[in-house]
Amino acid sequence: MASRFGPEHESAGGAGQSGWALLLLGYPHKGMVCAEKMRLITAYAAITERFAIAVAKLRLTTTEEFNKAFAASEAARAECAKARRAMQKHRDQHCC
């Protein structure tokens, strides 16, 4: 049975097992996702969505609307960079 994560995550073992299950059981220190990492990923995903929306608003027609949208997109871009650095720092410190 194919894993929902793709064939590279299928187990060699058999029916119903995914590579994740074997990875987590075999190597608990490599492959488990800690709660802090999940929080950082969730925050990053939300921030990147806000950034995408802010960038889409750059299509507005008036100069005033564009200037406001550009400022908002720059702020969102900075938030994205900050969130990405937080994820990288966590990964570097915790190896997860």
The structural domains of the chain, with segments of one domain joined by +, span: 1-29, 33-94
Predicted model pTM:
0.60
- With a CB cutoff of 8 Å and minimum separation 6, the contacts of 66 are 58, 60
pLDDT at 16 (0 to 100)? 44
pLDDT at 34 (0 to 100)? 87
Token digits of residue 40? 């950082």
For the cut 60, the answer to whether the pLDDT of residue 10 exceeds it is no
